[in-house]
C-alpha cells in the first residue's frame, strides 16, 4: 500500500481547514514542538481505520476550537498492493461514514487494505508496539507468524512424546485449556472421594457386637401349649369380667328391641290397620283429609297399599321377635357360663391361666428385645460390610483418577513443549526479516533441560528495556518491518521524532513518513534530505544567534 496524498481535511484536530499534502517514497514532516507534525502523520491512519497512533478509536478527532462544525472529515488517495488507486473519505460527528471511491462502504470492507488493525498500527507507528502490554505484544507476534500444520508440528516431537500425545493437535491452546479443565475436574473428584472415604472409614472401623441368643424358646413353647390346654379344658369360658360385659350388652339390646323398636312397630301397625279399616268400611274415608272416598279404583289402590304396609310391619315384628328370642337364649347361655365361672374350681383354673399368660407375655417381651437388639447388630454389620466394599471401589477409582491426572499432566507438558517447538519453527521462517533484533518465546532450563515458555526481545544481545531511545526506535522499526513482511500489508511507516537516528532510509524498504523536530521551524513538508539538512542548518544558525544575543545581554 502506498499513500499518495491527504486532502479536504475539515475540523481535524488543530490542522487548518482544507489542509492537504502529497506523500512520496520518503516524506519529511518538519517543525518545532507543537506544530502538528504528529497530527499530520496520524491523518492517513485515522482515514483508513478510525484509530489514532496510540491504538484507540475512541479519541475525539474534532478540532475543539471550531465548535460550529458538526463533522470531522478527511480524504486520501492510496495505491493498493495490486497497483490500483483508491480514494478513501472518512466523516465522524453528526454524520458518520466511510467512502471508498465515492461510494459509501463499511469499515469491514476497508480491512482488505490493512487486514488486522493492531498489526497495521504496529507497522504504521512502530512505537505503538512498544506501548502494548507484554502479553499483547506476544499474542500479536504469534498471531502473525506463518501457519504450520498439526501433522508437521507433531513430527517435531520425539517418538515417545508422540505415543503419549497419541495424535496431532489442531488447536494447542484449546487442547491445553481442555486438559487443565479435565485435571481440575479430576482433582475435584479426588477431593470428593477423600471426603467419602473418611465417612466410610469411620463406619468400617466400628466395633461389632455378638448376636444375642434367646435361650427360652423351649420354655415359651411349653407355656403356650399349657395355656392352650387350659383354654380347652375350660370349655371356652372366657373371664368373668368379659362374661359380665357380654351379658350387660345382650341385656341392653333385648330391652331396646322390646321397649323401643317393638313398641314403635306396634304403633305403626295400629295406624296402618286403622287406615285399612277406613277404606274397607261402607263409607270409605281418606285417612289424611277425612273426606269420603267415592272412587272405586282409588279405594282399591289404597286398600292394596295399606295391606302391604300392614304385612310388612307384621314381618318386621316377627323378625324382631325371633332376633330378641335369640338374644335371650344367648344371654341365658352366658348366664349359665357365668354361674360355672363363679365356681371355686373355675376360679382356680382362671387364676392359673392368668399366671401362665403373664409368664408368656414376659418371655415374649424378652424375646422381642433380643430380636430388636440382634436386628440392630445385623444392620450395623451390613453397614460395615457395605462401607468396606465401597472403600475398595473408591480406592480403585482413586487409583484410576491419579493415573488419568498423571497422563493428562504429561500430555499437557508435551503440548506446551510442542507449542514452543512450533513457535520456534515458525520463527525460523521469519528470522530473515530481522537483523539485530532477536525475539525469544522459549529457553532451555540449564538444570532440568526443560523448554520454558518465556517472552523476551533483545537488540544486539541487549535487553529491550535497557536500550537508549535511539536503539529502542531501531528495534521498533525492525519489528514493524517484520510484521509488514509477514502479513504482506506493505504499509507505509510513520516515524515520529526521528531525529535520534540517521540511517532510516537505508534500512527500510517501505514508504516512509518521517517527523523531525526543528527549533524555530513552522510546519513544513519536504521530500529531499538535502533540503532537510538546509532547514536543520538554518535552525542551528538561529539557535546560535539567539545564544549570542543572550550572552551579550548577560554581559
Three-class secondary structure of residue 463 per DSSP: strand
Looking at the domain assignment, is residue 350 inside a domain?
yes
From 333, 367, 401, the end of a domain falls on 367
Number of domains in the chain: 2
Together in a domain, 135 and 45: yes
Does one domain contain both 135 and 224?
no
Q: Does some domain include residue 332?
A: yes
- Phi, psi (deg, nearest 5) at residue 6: -125, 145
For residue 479, report the phi and psi dihedrals to the nearest 5 degrees.
Answer: -65, -40
* CA pair distance 211, 371, nearest whole angstrom: 9
Asked if the structure places residue 272 within a domain, the reply is: yes
**Residue that terminates a domain, selected from 325, 352, 367:** 367
Say whether pLDDT at 235 is over 70: no
Q: Give the H/E segment covering residue 215.
A: none
Give me the domain span that covers residue 260: 217-367
Rounded to an integer, what distance in angstroms lies between the CA atom of residue 494 and that of residue 502? 15
What SS3 state is found at 178? helix
Contacts (Cβ under 8 Å, ≥6 apart) of 27: 511, 512, 513, 514, 525, 526, 527
pLDDT in tens, 394-445: 999 999 999 999 999 999 999 988 988 898 899 998 989 999 999 998 887 7
For residue 363, tell me if it sits in a domain: yes
The pLDDT tens digits of the residues spanning 325-343 come to 999 998 888 887 777 777 7
Among residues 230, 226, 316, which one has the least CA distance to residue 268?
316
If pLDDT is split at 50, 70 and 90, which confidence band does 70 have?
Answer: confident
Q: Cell 312397630 maps to which residue?
A: 265
**pLDDT-derived band at 367, boundaries 50, 70, 90:** very high
More confidently predicted of 139 and 278: 139
CATH number of the domain residue 499 falls in: 3.40.50.300
Question: Does residue 341 contact residue 235 with C-beta atoms inside 8 Å?
Answer: no
256: in domain:
yes
**CB 302 within 8 Å of CB 291:** no
What is the distance between the alpha carbons of residues 436 and 459, in angstroms, rounded to a whole number?
A: 5
> Given 367, 393, 413, which residue is the final one in a domain?
367
**pLDDT(53) > 60:** yes
Q: Checking DSSP bridges between strand 2-10 and strand 19-22, what pairing results, if any?
A: antiparallel
Query: From its phi and psi, is residue 22 left (phi > 0), alpha (psi between -120 and 50) or beta?
Result: beta
CB within 8 Å of 475: residues ≥ 6 apart: 436, 437, 457, 459, 464, 467
- Residue 521's SS3 state is coil
pLDDT score recorded for residue 236: 56
> Which strand (E) or helix (H) includes residue 259?
none
> What's the confidence (pLDDT) of residue 258?
87
Is this model's pTM higher than 0.75 or not? no
Q: Judge if 134 and 257 occupy the same domain.
A: no
What is residue 271's predicted lDDT score, i.e. its pLDDT? 86
Q: What confidence tier does 231 reach under pLDDT thresholds 50, 70, 90?
A: confident
- 260 lies in the same domain as 127: no
Within this chain, do residues 95 and 223 fall inside the same structural domain, yes or no? no
Average pLDDT over residues 129-144: 92
Q: Is the same domain home to 237 and 352?
A: yes
In SS3 terms, 265-318 reads as: HHHHHHHHHHHHHHHHCCCCECCCCCCECCCHHHHHHHHHHHHHHHHHHHHHHH
pLDDT of residue 36: 94
| Residue 172 included in any domain | no
Say if residue 283's pLDDT is above 70.
Answer: no
224, 363: one domain: yes
CA distances (Å), origin 77, targets 11, 23, 371: 19, 10, 102
Average pLDDT taken over every residue of the chain: 89
Q: Are strands 71-79 and 103-105 parallel, antiparallel or unpaired?
A: unpaired
Beta strands 85-93 and 71-79 are antiparallel
**Grid coordinates in use for 247?**
351379658
**Predicted pLDDT of residue 21:** 98
Does residue 155 lie in a domain region? Answer: no
Which pLDDT band holds residue 153 (cuts at 50, 70, 90)?
A: very high
Q: Which of 295-309, 367-381, 492-506 has the least mean pLDDT? A: 492-506
In a domain, 69, yes or no: yes
Average pLDDT over residues 382-398: 95
Question: In this structure, are 122 and 231 located in the same domain?
Answer: no
Amino acid at each position: 500500500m502506498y499513500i499518495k496524498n491527504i486532502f479536504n481535511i475539515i475540523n481535524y484536530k488543530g490542522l487548518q481547514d482544507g489542509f492537504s499534502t502529497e506523500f512520496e517514497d520518503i516524506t519529511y514532516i518538519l517543525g518545532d514542538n507543537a506544530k502538528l507534525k504528529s497530527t499530520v502523520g496520524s491523518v492517513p491512519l485515522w482515514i483508513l481505520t478510525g484509530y489514532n497512533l496510540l491504538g484507540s478509536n475512541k479519541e475525539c478527532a474534532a478540532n475543539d476550537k471550531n465548535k460550529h462544525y458538526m463533522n470531522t472529515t478527511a480524504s486520501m488517495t492510496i495505491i493498493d498492493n495490486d497497483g490500483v488507486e483508491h480514494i478513501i473519505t472518512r466523516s465522524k460527528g453528526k454524520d458518520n461514514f466511510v467512502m471508498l471511491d465515492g461510494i459509501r462502504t463499511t469499515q469491514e470492507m476497508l480491512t482488505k487494505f490493512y487486514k488486522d488493525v493492531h498489526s497495521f498500527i504496529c507497522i504504521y507507528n512502530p512505537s505503538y508496539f512498544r506501548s502494548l502490554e507484554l502479553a499483547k505484544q506476544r499474542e500479536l507476534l504469534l498471531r502473525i507468524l506463518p501457519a504450520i500444520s498439526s501433522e508437521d508440528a507433531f513430527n517435531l516431537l520425539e517418538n515417545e512424546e508422540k505415543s503419549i500425545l497419541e495424535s496431532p493437535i489442531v488447536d494447542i491452546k484449546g487442547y491445553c485449556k481442555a486438559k487443565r479443565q479435565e485435571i481440575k475436574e479430576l482433582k475435584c473428584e479426588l477431593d470428593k472421594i477423600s471426603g467419602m472415604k473418611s465417612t466410610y472409614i469411620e463406619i468400617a472401623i466400628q466395633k461389632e457386637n455378638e448376636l444375642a441368643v434367646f435361650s427360652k424358646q423351649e420354655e415359651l413353647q411349653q407355656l403356650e401349649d399349657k395355656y392352650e390346654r387350659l383354654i380347652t379344658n375350660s370349655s371356652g369360658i372366657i373371664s368373668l369380667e368379659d362374661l359380665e360385659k357380654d351379658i350387660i350388652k345382650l341385656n341392653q339390646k333385648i330391652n331396646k328391641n322390646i321397649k323401643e323398636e317393638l313398641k314403635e312397630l306396634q304403633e305403626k301397625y295400629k295406624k296402618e290397620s286403622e287406615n285399612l279399616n277406613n277404606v274397607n268400611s261402607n263409607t270409605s274415608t281418606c285417612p289424611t283429609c277425612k273426606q269420603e272416598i267415592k272412587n272405586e279404583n282409588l279405594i282399591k289402590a289404597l286398600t292394596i297399599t295399606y295391606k302391604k304396609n300392614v304385612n310388612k310391619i307384621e314381618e318386621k315384628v316377627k323378625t324382631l321377635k325371633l332376633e330378641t328370642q335369640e338374644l335371650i337364649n344367648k344371654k341365658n347361655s352366658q348366664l349359665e357360663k357365668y354361674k360355672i365361672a363363679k365356681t371355686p374350681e373355675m376360679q382356680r383354673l382362671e387364676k392359673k391361666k392368668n399366671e401362665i399368660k403373664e409368664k408368656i407375655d414376659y418371655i415374649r417381651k424378652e424375646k422381642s428385645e433380643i430380636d430388636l437388639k440382634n436386628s440392630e447388630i445385623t444392620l450395623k454389620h451390613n453397614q460395615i460390610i457395605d462401607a468396606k466394599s465401597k472403600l475398595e471401589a473408591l480406592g480403585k477409582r482413586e487409583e484410576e483418577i491419579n493415573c488419568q491426572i498423571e497422563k493428562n499432566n504429561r500430555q499437557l507438558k508435551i503440548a506446551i513443549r510442542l507449542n514452543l517447538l512450533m513457535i520456534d519453527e515458525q520463527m525460523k521462517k521469519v528470522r530473515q526479516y530481522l537483523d539485530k533484533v532477536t525475539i525469544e518465546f522459549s529457553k532451555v532450563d540449564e538444570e532440568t533441560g526443560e523448554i520454558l515458555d518465556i517472552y523476551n526481545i533483545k537488540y544486539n544481545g541487549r535487553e529491550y528495556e535497557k536500550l537508549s531511545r535511539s536503539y529502542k526506535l531501531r528495534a521498533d522499526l525492525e519489528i514493524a518491518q517484520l510484521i509488514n513482511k509477514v502479513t504482506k500489508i506493505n504499509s507505509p511507516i510513520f516515524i515520529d521524532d526521528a531525529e535520534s537516528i540517521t540511517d532510516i532510509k537505508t534500512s527500510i524498504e517501505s514508504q516512509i513518513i518521517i517527523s523531525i523536530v526543528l527549533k524555530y521551524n513552522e510546519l513544513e513538508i519536504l521530500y529531499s534530505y538535502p533540503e532537510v539538512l538546509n532547514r536543520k542548518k538554518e535552525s542551528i544558525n538561529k539557535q546560535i544567534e539567539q545564544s549570542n544575543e543572550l550572552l551579550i545581554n548577560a554581559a
